Amino acid sequence: MKKATFLLFAIITLFSCQQEASKSEPSIVDLARDSLSNKLTEIHEQGHINGFAVAIVNENEVLYQAGIGYSNLNAKANYSEHTIQNIGSVSKTFIGLALLKAQELGKLNLDDPINKHLPFQVYNPSYPEEEITLRHLATHSSTILDTDYYDGKSYILKEDIEVPDSIMAMAETFNAPNTAMPLISFLEKILSAEGEWYEAEGFLKNKPGEIFEYTNIGAALAAAVLEMATGESFNAFVTKHILQPLNMSSSGWSFDDIDISKHSTLYARPDIELPYYSLITYPDGGLITSISDMAKYLSELIKGYAGNGTLLSAASYKELFTAQLSAENIPDQEEDGDAYDDEYNTGIFMGLTPKGYIGHTGGDPGIATFMFFKPGSKTGKIMMINTSVRNSGGVKEFYDIWYTLDEYEKKLNGPEGNN
């Protein structure tokens, strides 16, 4: 009995030691995460981007997320996964989901003429009898163009301060807070034939639906149509149907909706700070969010593509991601182009690239954002930076970050990451 007891004790002790050893030894995935953090820190030392955040996700979990560098260089405040900033045109993907949710609720149909819902008429002056539809807006085939009035009037300063001409020259025109107005009023001024800022040259001389031409104001108009059809602001609708269900608690569409103390300073270049600004056309580029929140969103998109999404029906998700245009609608389409060219084709405000990636890019003063996933691997990645990329060094650093994520996406997701 004593011998048996001793043998049992020895086995238990050996097993416990092995367990402790396994706990103390990092896994292959842990080593990959540490290696990725080290590489990103090294890339940051190139010095062209003050701060950035990245995430790699699959449909079930966040595989990696981190902030690197500074949210405020002078204060040496770290950029973390909870730092927030605006993300530019990646915001448009939320318009796509919102339109499909409103369609599910019976409030509108993507093939509705937009004039069915608007309080003023919008038509292409070269084809006044041809209806522009919501689908045209959602696929950038409406023939509506961004004019100088759009670029010059939409950006609004948070505070009434004087911005030096030298900074204005490096960014869009920043307008005083008292020039802000409701989205629908802004759109009427530019797009209604009776509008103060209307220009016939603000439309292509093509028939609606005929040709792809990326348009920010067309995206903002789609959000306004949703507002008219649902009787809710775009902000309220998206918060209720997307942000809250995904627990994106740090995100919002205005400074009133977020914790400003967590907002990164934005930079025209590493040594020049930009003032805080917002957009009258906020649905087309104004979501303020963190990498932590965006990781939840991207994971939901991957689930949605696989038919397991929680925000929309499987049919709606299929429409969101299905190519809506043909090659003849996109005359500049290049099969051998940039792997992340989100204007190769389009779903419903969802870019489709020549290499099979799905997502969107974004850019505004002081920021740039990439968000893409590849259906085969069921993984995706996001990057957001707080500094305008203004030279070849900045472009190199940006893509060094992105393609490093590419490399580690495969390592962190195991064999499936190579699909």
| Cβ count near 277 (within 10 Å) | 24
* Reported confidence tier of residue 30, pLDDT bands at 50, 70, 90: confident
Query: Which range, of 3-17, 82-96, 192-206, 258-272, averages the lowest pLDDT?
Result: 3-17
Q: Say what percent of the chain tops pLDDT 70.
A: 93
* Reported confidence tier of residue 134, pLDDT bands at 50, 70, 90: very high
What whole-number distance in Å separates Cα of residue 224 and Cα of residue 227? 5
Facing residues of 241 across strands? none
Question: Phi and psi for 363 in degrees, rounded to 5?
Answer: -155, 135
* Reported confidence tier of residue 23, pLDDT bands at 50, 70, 90: low
What whole-number distance in Å separates Cα of residue 304 and Cα of residue 300? 6
Give pLDDT, residue 24: 60
- In the predicted structure, residue 25 carries a pLDDT above the cut 90: no
- In the predicted structure, residue 196 carries a pLDDT above the cut 60: yes
Q: What is the pTM of this model?
A: 0.92
Q: Say what percent of the chain tops pLDDT 90.
A: 86
The first and second tokens of residue 123, run together, are 């038509």
Give pLDDT, residue 411: 87
Q: What is the dihedral of CA 69, 286, 312, 346, to 10 degrees?
A: -90
- In the predicted structure, residue 276 carries a pLDDT above the cut 80: yes
- In the predicted structure, residue 19 carries a pLDDT above the cut 60: no
Give pLDDT, residue 3: 46
> Per-residue pLDDT averaged across 90-102, rounded?
98
What whole-number distance in Å separates Cα of residue 93 and Cα of residue 20? 46
- In the predicted structure, residue 159 carries a pLDDT above the cut 70: yes
> Per-residue pLDDT averaged across 216-237, rounded?
98
Looking at per-residue confidence, does 351 or 166 come out higher? 351
- In the predicted structure, residue 51 carries a pLDDT above the cut 60: yes
> Per-residue pLDDT averaged across 145-159, rounded?
96
Which candidate, 61, 74, 67, places its Cα nearest to that of 41? 67
- Which tens digit of pLDDT belongs to each residue from 317-368? 999 999 999 999 998 888 888 999 999 999 999 999 999 999 999 999 999 9
- Which tens digit of pLDDT belongs to each residue from 296-330? 999 999 999 999 999 999 999 999 999 999 999 99
* Reported confidence tier of residue 26, pLDDT bands at 50, 70, 90: confident
Facing residues of 67 across strands? 53
Facing residues of 77 across strands? 72
List CB contacts of 257: < 8 A, sequence separation 6 or more. Answer: 235, 239, 251, 288
